[in-house]
Structure 1
Amino acid sequence: MERAGDVSHVLYVHFGEGAHERYEELLTLLTDITPVVQALPPDAALADVRGALRYFGRDAAGLARLVRLRALALHGTDCTVGVAAGPLLARMAAHAGAPGTVREVRPEQAADFLDRRPVAALHGVGPATARTLCSYGLDSVGRLAATPLATLQRILGATQGRRLHERARGVDRTTVTPTAPARSTAAEHRFPHDELDPDRRRRALLTLADELGFRMRAEHQVARGLSLTVRYADRSATTRTRTLPEPTAHTPALARAAYALHDALGLQRARVRGVALRAEELTAAELATRQLSFDVREEKARRAEAAADRARDRFGAYAVRPAGAELPAGGAEWPDDGPDEGVRAA
Structure 2
Amino acid sequence: MMSGRRILRLSFDLPPDADAGLPERLRRLLEDFTPRVQLLEDGALLDLTGATRWWQRDARGITELVQLRALAYFGLRSSAGVANTPMLAAMACALTPLGQRTVIDDSPEAISAFLRPRPVRELPGVGGKTATLLGEYGLHTVGEVADVPQLTLQRLLGARAGRTLHQHAQGHDTTSVDPAPAPKTISTEHRFARDELDPARHRRALLALADDLGTRLRASDQIARGLTCTIRYADDSGTRRSRTLPEATQHTVVLARTAYAAYESLGLQRARVRSIALRADALGPADRATRQLTLDAQDDKPLAIEAVADRARVRYGRQVLYPAALAISSRPTSAPHQDGGGRPEDTRGHRAT
Normalised to the residue count of structure 1, the TM-score between the two structures is 0.74
State how many pairs are aligned: 308
Match for residue 15 of structure 1 among 3, 12, 15:
12
Tell me whether 1:320 sits opposite 2:341 in the alignment.
Answer: yes
Q: CA deviation at 1:303?
A: 1.6
Partner of 2:92: 93
- Whether the 8 Å CA contact 2:228–2:240 is kept in 1: the answer is yes
Cα distance in 1 between the residues matched to 2:175 and 2:263: 29
Q: Which residue is equivalent to 2:186?
A: 185
Would the alpha carbon gap of residues 83 and 156 (structure 1) be closer, same or farther in structure 2, given more than 3 Å must change?
same
Number of the residue aligned with 1:129: 130
Instruction: Give the equivalent residue in structure 2 for 1:158.
Output: 159
Contact kept, 8 Å, 2:117 with 2:141, in 1: the verdict is yes
Deviations 1:255-304 (CA, angstroms, capped at 9, x unpaired): 3232222345583661387653135335599xxxx9xx995773245323
Amino acid of the residue matched to residue 276 of structure 1?
Answer: L
Relative distance call for 1:195 and 1:26 in structure 2 (3 A) is: farther
AA in 2 matched with 1:281: L
> Within 5 A, what are the aligned runs for 1:1-346?
2-5=1-4, 9-18=6-15, 21=20, 22-40=22-40, 42-108=41-107, 109-187=110-188, 199-209=200-210, 212=213, 221-230=220-229, 237-242=240-245, 243-245=247-249, 253=251, 255-264=252-261, 267=264, 270-271=267-268, 275-281=277-283, 295=304, 298-304=307-313, 306-308=315-317, 316-317=337-338, 320-325=341-346, 327-328=348-349
1:204-258 alpha-carbon deviations (Å, 9 max, x no partner): 33343455567778xx73422153224589977432233444xx5xxxx3x3232
SS of the counterpart of 1:14? strand
More displaced 10-residue stretch of structure 1: 49-58 or 276-285: 276-285
Identity within the alignment, %: 35
| Cα contact 1:231–1:237 (8 A) shared by 2 | yes
CA distance in structure 2 between the partners assigned to 1:226 and 1:155 by the alignment: 27
CA 1:203/1:178 → structure 2, altered by over 3 Å: closer, same or farther? same
Going from structure 1 to structure 2, the CA distance change for 1:146 and 1:84 (only over 3 Å counts) comes to: same
Q: Distance in 1 between matches of 2:319 and 2:239?
A: 39
Contact between 1:4 and 1:86, CA under 8 Å: does it hold in 2?
no
2:326 is matched with which residue?
none
Q: Name the CA shift for 1:319/1:189 in 2 (closer, same or farther; >3 Å).
A: closer
Q: Contact 1:185–1:280 (CA<8 Å) still a contact in 2?
A: no
Contact (CA 8 Å) 2:318, 2:343: kept in 1 or not?
no
TM-aligned CA deviation for residue 95 of structure 1: 0.8
The SS at the match of 2:50 is helix
- Residues 193 and 12 of structure 1, relative CA distance in 2, 3 Å threshold: farther
> CA 1:104/1:129 → structure 2, altered by over 3 Å: closer, same or farther?
same
Distance (whole Å) between structure 2 residues aligned to residue 56 and residue 190 of structure 1: 46
Unaligned runs of 5+ residues in structure 2 are 293-300, 321-335
Name the SS for the 2:307 alignment partner. Answer: helix
Residue 64 of structure 1 deviates from its aligned partner by 1.8
Q: Are the counterparts in 1 of residues 341 and 347 from structure 2 also a CA contact under 8 Å?
A: no
Tell me whether 162-171 or 208-217 shows the greater mean CA deviation: 208-217
Summarize the Cα distance change of 1:198–1:136 in structure 2 as closer, same or farther, 3 Å threshold. Answer: farther
User: How far apart in 2 are the matches of 1:263 and 1:191?
Assistant: 18
**How far is 1:117 from its partner?**
0.6
C-alpha change, 1:295 and 1:209, in structure 2 (3 Å) is closer
Which amino acid in structure 1 is aligned with residue 343 of structure 2?
P
Counterpart of 2:298? Answer: none
1:299 is paired with a residue whose SS is helix
Residue 264 of structure 2: SS of its match in structure 1? coil
Measure, in 2, the Cα distance between the counterparts of 1:151 and 1:85: 28
